[in-house]
A = this chain, B = another copy of it.
């Protein structure tokens, strides 16, 4: 063995991260070992700090160092509009796009008959409670455009109906900058059906 014990352990842990196989984990470790002071020790400290400081927001499920999170605490956000997302990654993506000025609600997944994910496994009850207690005006369902995402959206629409809140979902169509000839038929069909006056 040429790779010593601590190197092997580090490669094994890094290889567990999504997007990194053993090969790229090894490359990353070699790069880090070239500059331990500049990269490795700061990374170790940042990991420890994040592991200790970051927790889910008790209101919306976002990850932050405080609960309620910075978004839930922000007085400039529209408190009457709640955007429902599958996971924190989607919340971050919407924040980067800077299109939603309301609050969020992280479900923690989508309903999945195959995956054995039922309503009780997701943060649906807290969502209904928020809508009822805070008197929300609109719930935007920003769920993935998959079968499970659509199932979850239907389910939530049914459950939210008694509250009288307006429920909307994201538009489907041609992605901005997308060429038509590489799009799947489902997306093209949706874009044609939902066509608008030019």
Residues of A whose CB lies within 8 Å of any CB of B are: 1-7, 9-10, 13-14, 16-20, 24, 26-33, 36-37, 39-54, 62-66, 69-71, 87-89, 91-92, 95
Contacts and interface: CB of A to CB of B under 8 A. Distances in A.
Given A47-B44, A48-B44, A19 B27 contact: yes
Contact of A48 (B17, B29, B41): B41
Contacts of A50: 6-7, 9-10, 29, 32-33, 36, 40
A100 to B, nearest CB: 10
A2 B92 contact: yes
A30 B46 CA distance: 14
A79 B55 CA distance: 55
Contacts of A1: 70, 95
Contacts of A65: 4-6
B4 A70 contact: yes
